[in-house]
Amino acid sequence: MPTNPADGAILGTLYGSDAMRAVFDEHAYFQRMLDVEAALARVQARLGIIPADAAQAITQAARFENLRAEELAASARNVGYPVVGLVAGLSRAAGEAGGWTHWGATTQDIMDTAGVLQLRAAINRYKERLVELARQLSQLANRHRATVMAGRTHGQQALPISFGLKVVTWLAPLLRHVERLDEISPRLLGVQFGGAAGTLAALGDKGIEVMQALAAELKIAVPVMPWHAQRDSLVEFAGWLSLVTGSLGKMAQDIILMAQSEVGEVSESAEEGRGGSSTMPQKSNPITSELILAAARHNASLLSALHHAQIQEHERATHGWQVEWLTLPDMIMLTGGALKHAVYLAKNLQVDEAKMRENIHRANDVILAEAAVFALARAMPRAQADKLVKQACAVALTEGKPLVEVVKNLLAGALPAGAVDWQALAAPQNYLGETDKIIDRALKSASHFLG
């Protein structure tokens, strides 16, 4: 039975995704290792290192069903790694050709290269999710480009913004994450083949040729050299995973704050019973956002472990590798789940435009203070305008009156007629600055990504 909630049949629905589990379950991992062993045999046969019929037999035998789980478990428990048992099972299944399996390779070559194949599959799924999420957020932003709400700084109402602008602040980092992924993938998705100590000595003068041919067979990159104790690319990828969930966490945190009962500007969905409480009928908890935040914070913590694992001694290390086994799959799974939840939010988010307006007016329109200062500064010294508006803010909050009305009353005709368009000043939608252009720029950037 799984002890990690992300792996359970019940609690696992809250974390991860079925698509990512299919890539990283134990069965899939062992099949990837068998795929690497088979590919190695084929390229070595083409290079005249092992017999062609042996490569054919090894390839045909390289199926997970030919292995015995109890033998694999016993071998891993005894040796500390799964490959010895895997090679024994593959060799047995290949019959007389079995003696040619794993020729010139070492355990870490097979495990790391299998891991790279898993990472490639994971990256493809991440890109699919990111495309879907970017498309949904783009549509949401465009739909609400003119939906006025309070922009908040330090948790306080600051200036009017549009909800569409807030949405593109969730969107823009995702586009950069796709660029980052494209940049790091060639460094990350490289074959591991170095033999026992990274010299390829068992293959004589054919070692590098085999490494290059194996990479071509598996359609992955050829590194400058074997990277047994060089784990920077994996740590870089882990950093990318944490960046992605961190950006999704910002989106989730915003939604949680806007969904508070006293704010009520959004809710996660209209789905009946979603986020319900066992004892409080009125509750509709932002559970999807909570799960995204949990993934983001946990990934940030796990990233530290990968940085520790990067410190590996000599030509092949003692324990850093095992730290990766415990850490990186969890980060990959949590990121897949966070992306899945974010897509749900982008599709189903309920936006209360009236409540957004109401929250501005309930604060007596003090969100228009900067707008009032700059409007008055065209007709009086800036310092005088600033002082008057500060006074007006205090009155508006104390007496519960709209700020612009208070400013107008305090001036009591002191300005020339027509110096200030009071009606226009009192409309928050008139102080959105370059919001529309910013949204357009973000959506144009997304359109290049979406195709």
State the catalytic residues.
Answer: 277, 316
- Distance separating alpha carbons of residues 291 and 115, to the nearest angstrom: 27
Per-residue DSSP letters for 172-212? HHHHHHHHHHHHHHHHHSB-----TTSS-GGGGGGHHHHHH
> Exposed, middle or buried, 239 (CB in 10 Å: 0-12/13-18/19+)?
middle
By three-state DSSP, how is residue 267 classified?
A: strand
Q: Which two tokens stand for residue 269?
A: 């969905």
User: Tokens 């882990």 appear where?
Assistant: 238
Task: Please say whether the beta carbons of 51 and 65 come within 8 A.
Answer: no
Cross-strand partners of 162: 148
Cα angle: 304, vertex 23, 287; to 5 degrees? 65
- Distance separating alpha carbons of residues 372 and 388, to the nearest angstrom: 10
**Identity of the amino acid at 230:** Q
CA distances from 98 to 49, 54, 394, 433 (A): 15, 8, 86, 72
Other beta carbons within 10 angstroms of residue 394's beta carbon come to: 11
Contacts of 345 (CB under 8 A, 6+ apart): 251, 252, 255, 268, 269, 288, 289, 292
- Parallel, antiparallel, or unpaired for β 350-351 and 156-162? unpaired
Contacts of 135 (CB under 8 A, 6+ apart): 446, 450
- Parallel, antiparallel, or unpaired for β 156-162 and 148-153? antiparallel
By three-state DSSP, how is residue 407 classified?
A: helix
Q: Which two tokens stand for residue 371?
A: 């707008």
Look up residue 416 and give its DSSP letter: P
